[in-house]
Structures are given as C-alpha cells and as structure tokens.
Structure 1
Amino acid sequence: MTLFCDITLAGRIELAEARFIAACSEAAAARRGDGAGFVAPIAGGVASYAEPESPLNKVAGLGFAGPPAPADLEAIEHAYAARRAPVQVELSHLADAALLEVLAGRGYRLVSFENVLGRALGDPAEPVEAPGVDVRTSGEDEFETWLNVVVEASLHPDTQGVPWLEEFPREILENAERDAAGLVQRYLARLDGVPAGGGSMRVAGRIAQLTGAGTAPAFRRRGIQSALLSARLADATAAGCDLAVITVQPGSKSQQNAQRRGFQLLYTRAVLAHEAGTRSPASAV
C-alpha cells in the first residue's frame, strides 16, 4: 500500500517519538536519583538530558506547534551548558520551515541526517521464515541475554550507508536500554538455539514504533533482521496499529531490509548541533 506522509502524519509520529524520549529520560532520572537530568517541554517537542554521553540527550519533536520562543530556546541551551553537553536537535524536514532560520541564527550547524520509514498496517503481515531462526517475545528471565546481544550489535554497526553521528560507550548503551525496558516489548532472535539478535517495539496509540534492532556480528546475513521485522509487524497488526515506523541511517542495511518488507521513506530528520553551550555553563532547567 502506498503511504503518503503529510505534515499531520509527520507531526503524529514526531509527537510519539518525543513522548518516548521523555519517558526514557524520566526512567533514567529515577535510576540515577541525583537530579542531574531533565525533561523539558518546548514548542510541542521535548528537550531531554539523561546522563553524560547518553543517546537520550536530544531535542525531539520540534516544529509542529510553531517555532519556540527565543527565551525557551535560551533556557534549554543554558540547561545543556550547565551539564557541559552540546544541544542536539533532530528536526523533520516537514517541520515549520521558520525553525531552521531560528536555529541557524543561534549558531546551530547541520551535522547529520536520519530517515524515518513507515509501513501502513491492517492486513496480516506476511510471515518471514529463515532457516534455523526463531523469534519470540523476551521476558524478564532472559533480559540480560537480550541486553547483551542488542548492545553487542550496537557496538559493531553495519558499515553500509551513512554511519551514525555518534558512538556510545557500552555502559551508556546498556543504561539506555534498561531505562527503556519498561516501555517496550522486547524480542529475542535465536539461530539454531543461540541468541543472535534482538529488537523492541513500542505501541503509541495506533503507531508501532520499532525502537531498535540489531544482530550480533557473527550472525549477520542470515535473515535475522527480516525475521525480527516480521514478528513485530505481526504483533503490531494484532494490536490494532495502523502504522509502523522505524528510524534508520540513510543508505544503511537496516533501510534496505525495511524497504524489502514494505516500508517507505516518509521524511528525513536533519540533526543540528550547538556546541557553543558546552563552553559557557549557566543556570539549568
């Protein structure tokens, strides 16, 4: 089914993403208990800081409720500066165009892109079976197994396409996955009985957010990613979702696998960064 993404649909997806980032960051704050993190609403989106070097340190969902007031942006920049962290904004190309001018005027620079793909749901998803591959939902009893294989995959990303902007230490990746654990459904893939890959999914309204997946390097090119996609699409359809979305790096193997499973490019996010704040800490949120 051809899927057309207008501003309304993009805003719906970006709102789900902002709420997910906020919930993960709040879980990180509860885990740390030191009051160093923050989650702050800004112009329909959210600014999040979880801990040093975390992938949750970002501004997401901007541009669908008008541009932020200069005072709100300044307060957010001060909050990141107080923690010696850059401001990173992920901005959909369907967001309010005025926001680009606002950010450029404040010294933000373009550093990378990521693609948001989508697939309409409704009819049962065609199952994918790969020789020796078994994908099942993963419970608390095997959480550490799931965590190890997902983090290992993240530490050794596939080299096809545009690389991720940042690399994160193992401990920080493990923390981020633990913080998201209560918000997602986890899936563990085994190849001939050996844990080989894992993924996760969050249902937000009728959107199925495919919130990450990876295959350990030794098991790649065996159909595991396709099997993980198939299992999550089947569960998303059964849950009544009308849309599945996934974020990938442009030209990556993940994008290729997703498009083979019927996903289409909906929009691109520009990743913009403001480094100056790391040199001038001020009052925090």
Structure 2
Amino acid sequence: MNDSRTSLFCDLDLAARIERAESQFMAECTRAVGGRTGGNSFSIPLAGGVASFAEADSPYNKVAGLGFDGVPTAAELDEVERAYAACGAPVQVELSNLADPETLDVLTGRGYRLVSFENVLGRALAGGVEPAVPLGMEVRRTREEEFEDWLDVVVRATLHPDTQGVPWYEDFPRHILENAERDGAAAGVVHYSALRDGVILGGGGLRVADGIAQMAGAGTAPEHRRQGVQTALTTARLADAAAAGCDIAVVTTQPGSKSQENVQRQGFGVLYTRAVLAKQP
C-alpha cells in the first residue's frame, strides 16, 4: 500500500461528522459505565451533541458535539446543568472553533469560563498506509490474556506524561483511568500492543465509526520512550483503519505536546481546535 499524506481541508461538514462520531462515542461509553455500575450515569441529547456523565471524575463527563445542529436553548441547558449538579459535577463543554458562534455566546452568557484548549488533527487514508515498525518490535491487536499488562502500561504512561507543550487541564486517578479503558472497549475500542521479546512497550486504541478512524489514545511506558513505539502504534492502526474502509483518521492532542509532534510526523494536520469551557454546579 502507498503511504498517503494528502492534506485535508476541514469544512463544516467534515467537522460536524467528526464531532458526531465523538458524541456517539461519549454516549456509548456512558452506557457501558451504567451497565457496569448501575449508578446514576446519563447521556442527554443536546442540540445535535450529547451531555454525558459516566461516574465521578470520569473523562467521559463532558458535553460534546455542540454547534453543528442548532444552538441549545435555555431550557435544554437548564436540564443539563441540573443533571450534572445532582451528581455534584461541573458541566464541561468541548466546543469546536467551527461550531455556530452563537453557541459560545450562549454559554459565556450563562457563566461558562474558558479553562483549556485541545487540537483535533486528521489525516486522509486514501491509498492505504504502510506500517513503520522498528526491527525487533511487533505491533498487533492485544490478546485477551495480555489485557491487564496492556492496561498497566497505558495507565502508567498517562500518569507520567511528557512535559512538552500545554499540560492537560485535568488529572485522573489511576482507578478512573483503568475504568475508562475498560468502558472504552465496551464502546468499540480495539486495543493494540507494541512488543519486544514478548514485553509490552506501549499500547493504543482504535475505534471505527462512519468511516472515521478514531485514534483512541496511546501511551508508551516511560522506560521505553524515544524508541519509535508511538510511530509503530500509529502506523499499524492507520493501516488497519484504511483496510477497514476508513477515509480519515482523527486524533485529539494538547497543543504543542509531544503527542501532537508525533502524529504530525505521520502526516496528521490540525483540523480545528476545541475550547474547553466549564461551569461549576
């Protein structure tokens, strides 16, 4: 296969498609948490997006996909804010800079404040992708009996991030990160491992939806960084996504981060930025 590096232009239709896939993923993860805990999880449709609460401190507690199918009304936002308040959680909205500008006006008028940014990057997959795996390394789907080792590596990587670029706005405890990975799998994320001599060096996830390959996180054990692990994981997942018929791959990173640098080396370009806005209960 050829390694396609076609530059992408992100118009409103493409942004809406990506945000819709993200919203669906949040809703499916939240359902998975509800099935696991039997708790007070919820997923509320909101102006084309979704407001999700999975469990306390979960990364799936967010409002995603707003601004591409109407502007949320005061009554709709009242309902969402009451639901989060009942769980003792803030409302966190991830809003694309390509969303209807009126959405931002409505949110700031209700007291939401800007707390962070994140970049959404994409790469076309037309023509396929050739995996780039260093000699002596293997990348493949994680076997069931390897999952706990995979989970330990990925969570340790998340808890010890590279310090380059803008730091993440949120920190999550270990057990919540572990829960999030398990629930992501229930929502369709497939796990990949990079191994050398049978030892898992790093891992990543891939979810396919509507022709979009969502690169659902990746991490390398701190002791194995700078050895080409991320390049190997990225290209292997891209190759599988292209073979599955996806036309685009997307990934979310912190601005200026090592993760962004890594994926840009693999042909990803910034499509748009999300502003992260929050309102305390």
Task: Give the shorter-chain TM-score range.
Answer: over 0.9
Give the CA deviation at 1:110. Answer: 0.3
**2:110 aligned with 1:106, yes or no?**
yes
What whole-Å deviation, never above 9, does each CA across 1:199-242 have from its counterpart, x for those lacking one? 01000021000011000111110000000001001000100100
1:249 aligned to 2:238? Answer: no
Q: How many Å apart are 1:128 and its aligned residue?
A: 0.8
Distance in 1 (CA, whole Å) between partners of 2:196 and 2:78 is 50
Of 117, 123, 136 in structure 2, the residue corresponding to residue 119 of structure 1 is: 123
Q: Which runs of 5+ in 1 are unaligned?
A: 278-285
- Alignment-mate amino acid for residue 58 of structure 1: K
Query: SS of the counterpart of 2:126?
Result: coil
1:62 pairs with 2:66: yes
Deviation at 1:131, TM superposition (A): 3.6
Identity across aligned pairs (percent)? 64
1:15, 1:61 within 8 Å by CA — same for their partners in 2? yes
2:45 is matched with 41
Give matches, 1:266-281, under 5 Å. 266-275=271-280, 277=281
* 1:235 and 2:252 correspond: no
Residue number among 121, 124, 130 corresponding to 2:134 in the alignment: 130
Q: Which amino acid aligns with 2:65?
A: G
Q: Give the C-alpha shift of residue 140 in structure 1.
A: 1.8
Q: Does 1:155 find its partner at 2:128?
A: no
**Could you state the TM-score of these two structures normalised by the residue count of structure 1?**
0.95
Offset at residue 133 of structure 1 (A): 2.0
Deviations 1:134-166 (A, max 9, x none): 111113221111111111111111111111110
Q: Does 1:12 align with 2:13?
A: no
Kindly tell me the number of residue pairs found equivalent between the two proteins: 275
Work out whether residues 150 and 198 of structure 1, in 8 Å CA contact, stay in contact via their aligned partners in 2: yes
Deviation at 1:193, TM superposition (A): 2.8
Aligned equivalent of 2:3: none
Describe the SS at the equivalent of 2:78. helix
Which of structure 1's runs of 4+ aligned residues deviate more than 2 A? none
Contact 1:122 1:240 in 2 (8 A): no
Give the Cα separation in 1 of the matches to 2:99 and 2:201.
38
Deviates more, 1:181-190 or 1:235-244: 181-190
Deviating more after overlay: 72-81 vs 138-147: 138-147
Residue 186 of structure 1: aligned partner: 191
Deviation readout 1:240-285 (Å, 9 max, x if unpaired): 100000000100111111010000100000000001x1xxxxxxxx
| 1:78 to 2:82 alignment | yes
TM-score normalised according to structure 2 size: 0.96
User: How many angstroms apart in 2 are the aligned matches of 1:129 and 1:144?
Assistant: 23
Q: Is the 8 A contact 2:133 2:139 kept in 1?
A: no
Q: How large is the RMSD of aligned CA atoms in angstroms?
A: 0.9
For residues 171-210 of structure 1, the aligned pairs below 5 Å read 171-182=175-186, 183-210=188-215
Q: In 1, Cα distance between the equivalents of 2:18 and 2:116?
A: 20
Aligned equivalent of 1:281? none
Q: Which runs of no fewer than 5 residues in structure 2 stay unpaired?
A: 1-5
In the alignment, the residues of structure 2 paired with residue 129 and residue 69 of structure 1 have an alpha-carbon distance, to the nearest angstrom, of 50
Q: 1:55 is paired with a residue of what secondary structure?
A: coil
- Once structures 1 and 2 are overlaid, which stretch shifts more, 6-15 or 125-134? 125-134
1:190 deviation in Å? Answer: 1.2
- For residues 31 and 131 of structure 2, the distance between their equivalents in structure 1, rounded to whole angstroms, comes to 36
